[in-house]
Amino acid sequence: MKINYKVIDPVGVKTPALIVFLFSDDKPGLRRRPELAGLKHLISPRLKTKDFTGDHLSVLGLFQEIKRGPERLILVGLGPEKEHGPEKLRSAAAKAAQAARDFNLQEAAMLLPPKWENLKNPEELAEVTALGVRLGLYRYDELKTRDKDKAGLLRHMTLVSAEKIETGKFNTALKKAEASAKAICYARDLVNRPSNLLKPDDLAREAKALARSQGLKIKVLGLAEAKRRKMGAFLSVTQGSESPGRIIILEYHGTGRRIKPLALLGKAITFDSGGINLKPADGLKNMKTDMAGGAAVLAVLAAAASLKLKVNLVGIVPAAENMPSGKSCRPGDVITSMSGLNVEITNTDAEGRMVLADALTLAHEYNPCAIIDLATLTGACLVALGDKIAALMGTDAELVQRLKEAGEKSGDRVWELPLYDPYFEFLKSEVADFNNAGGRAAGAIIGGLFLKQFVSEIPWAHLDIAGTARTEKGGPDTRIGGTGFGVNLVLHYLYSQE
């Protein structure tokens, strides 16, 4: 699908359908919406009769041709003006794109809504709207041979601004939206792809294809290399599976060679059965999702490269399958991690932190300015924050603050949990340096504290995306399944660093 823009009075747009956003507090007089003056005679009566209320995500199609203008209007509700923000707009834009598609249109135009406090500049408005349009049309259809939906039908969307926006800024906004959308959808595809079709080796192949198309440097470590590098924590997870693990390392250089890279780590357990501590039936259902952190890292590197962001990045994605077998590690086993620390595996289902432990040690070799990891690490995080907010923990106040700001801009919400050191006591081991799992209390924090053992002085932040990587509800801009959470968050963090 193509998205372009025009600066023009909306009444003069030649289009099969013009989408117009309205607040639920817009009055029939439309006095606060001067840009709608030419369309008032069509819209006002509908507001008067309450055929259209402006409630968030409400839709009304008006089939009335305007001379030398749009053939029809599609009204889409934004809800109350004072509750407005990027998330509401993104989902309304997604809903609007779906409405245009459902009217079997191949093209449509969309009048950008008015600005508000938290979306002041028109470029940001355009970016959020364009992203919403693309996400609204997303569907995982790689495996559908029938019932393909009509997503491909809508081919062209024109964003209309009544107010002048500088061409350069408009173009940048659309390019960012395009790159974010592509990256988010790519991450969703990988998360939605079933585990039998996405083994660690398949993920490595994906990464290689991505590296080729985006001009990234790539290295994939196999089992022999992992053994040679003494990655005992990583190996303890992959050893039980028939499908050998891989460590994927991608590099993107967008600025001076001397500038330290940001290290992005992503947990990629292509299927988490729990291992010998086998999960119960309910817990197994969606464990193909357990590579969402890795998918987000691949997607961010691709987007950064396609936008030519002026940053250096190293992406490290430890990929493995966690399976029970005669070769699996057992509860009570002690392994030596790449860092030299000995870990007693008290629960084989706490595998994410094991693969990340060695990935963290490996990351230090790249002398990064900071390390950010994304991981579907704990069920406790899902319990604490649900499917819309990820847990954020970190050792550096500035890094944490910037990630919070990126969270607000990107729509990927985060909430900080404390890395409260006294809780490390829950991981006390009688035989090794510490255990890999504690009890049920403070599960997400203990996951964070475990990872912290493998981090030096380098600023580090951990995003537990166990709750947010997948949604069972779906909405206009996220379908049931993988959400691509974290991609837009990290991209906005990078924008703030450029």
Whether 333 and 225 have beta carbons less than 8 Å apart is answered as no
Catalytic site residue from 115, 208, 279, 413: 279
Alpha carbon separation from 397 to 357, 363, 392, 404 (Å, rounded): 22, 20, 12, 11
| CB proximity list for 82: less than 8 A, separation 6 or greater | none
Q: How far is the CB of 416 from ligand BES (least distance, A)?
A: 19
Encoded one letter per residue, x for contact with ligand BES by CB under 6 A and - for no contact, window 127-156 reads ------------------------------
State which H helix or E strand residue 5 sits in.
strand 2-7
DSSP 368-430: -SEEEEEE---HHHHHHHTTTEEEEEES-HHHHHHHHHHHHHHS-EEEE----GGGGGGG--S
Residue 425: CB atoms within 10 A of its CB come to 11
Q: Which residue is nearest to ligand BES (CB)?
A: 379
- The smaller minimum CB distance to Zn ion, of residues 261 and 352, is found at 352
Q: Which strand ranges, in their side-by-side order, compose the sheet holding 342-344?
A: 334-336, 342-344, 434-435
Q: Does 180 bind ligand BES (CB under 6 A)?
A: no
Select from 237, 251, 422, 445 the least CA-distant residue to 322.
Answer: 237
Which of 382, 391, 414, 494 forms a contact with ligand BES (CB under 6 A)?
382
Rounded CA separation 81/237 (Å):
50
Out of 351, 358, 373, 477, which residue is the one contacting ligand BES (CB under 6 A)? 351
Beta bridge partners of 250: 218, 315
**Site for ligand BES contains 80 (CB under 6 A):** no
112 makes contact, choosing from Zn ion, Mn ion, ligand BES, none, with CB < 5 to 8 Å by partner type, with none
> Under the criterion CB under 5 A, does residue 290 sit at the interface with Zn ion?
yes
**Closest to ligand BES by CB, 59 or 191:** 191
Q: What span, in angstroms and rounded, lies between the C-alpha atoms of 477 and 7?
A: 26
The answer to whether the CB of 343 falls within 8 A of the CB of 335 is yes
- The reply to whether 349 sits near ligand BES by the rule CB under 6 A is yes
Between 308 and 330, CB nearer to Mn ion = 330
* 373 is an interface residue for Zn ion by CB under 5 A: no
Encoded tokens for 336: 């030596």
Q: Which of 352, 394, 407, 476 contacts Zn ion by CB under 5 A?
A: 352
Provide the token pair at 98: 């779906």
> Considering only residues 230, 379, 405, 497, which one is a binding residue for ligand BES as defined by CB under 6 A?
379
Asked if 70 contacts 109 with a C-beta cutoff of 8 angstroms, the reply is: yes
Binding site partner of 419, from Mn ion, ligand BES, Zn ion, none, Cβ cut-off 5-8 A by kind: none
**Residue in 352, 394, 481, 484 binding ligand BES, rule: CB under 6 A:** 352
Catalytic residue list contains 101:
no
Scan for tokens 């990126």, then name that residue: 406
Joined tokens for residue 290: 């357990």
Which residue is closest to Zn ion by CB? 272
At residue 497, what are phi and psi to the nearest 5 degrees?
A: -95, -20
Q: Which is nearer to Mn ion, 349 or 373 (CB)?
A: 349
* Minimum distance from residue 280 beta carbon to ligand BES (Å): 11
Rounded (5°) CA angle 457-461-463:
155
Tell me phi and psi for residue 143, to 5 degrees: -110, 10
The letter for the amino acid at 133 is: V
Name the minimum Å distance from CB 351 to Zn ion. Answer: 6
Q: Is residue 279 annotated as part of the catalytic site, yes or no?
A: yes
Q: Which stretch binds ligand BES (CB under 6 A): 97-105, 121-129, 347-355, 420-428?
A: 347-355
CB of 270 vs Zn ion, minimal distance in Å: 10
How far lies 200's CA from each of 207, 314, 395, in Å?
11, 19, 30
Identity of the residue, 136 or 274, whose beta carbon is nearer to Mn ion in the bound complex: 274
Please report how the helices 292-306 and 167-192 are oriented relative to each other, as an axis angle in degrees rounded to 10: 150
- Measured from the CB atom, is 339 or 376 closer to ligand BES? 376
Catalytic residue among 33, 90, 134, 353: 353
- Give min distance, CB of 130 to ligand BES, in A: 30
**Which residues 6+ apart lie within 8 Å of 339 measured at CB?**
357, 358, 360, 361, 453, 454
Count interface residues toward ligand BES (CB under 6 A): 15
Per CB under 5 A, does 272 bind Zn ion? Answer: yes
CB of 338 to ligand BES, least distance (A): 20
What does the per-residue mask of binding to ligand BES show for 433-472, with x meaning CB under 6 A? Answer: ----x-----x----------------------x------
Give the nearest distance from C-beta 274 to Mn ion in angstroms.
Answer: 6
Residue 311's nearest CA partner among 360, 372, 359 is 372
* DSSP assignment letter at 285: T
Q: How far is the CB of 464 from Zn ion (least distance, A)?
A: 11
- Our measurement of the distance from residue 266's CA atom to the centroid of its chain's CA atoms, rounded to an integer in Å, reads 12
Interface ranges with Zn ion (CB under 5 A): 269, 272, 290, 352
Active site residue ranges: 279, 353
Interacting residue ranges for ligand BES, rule: CB under 6 A: 272, 290, 347, 349-352, 376, 378-380, 382, 437, 443, 466
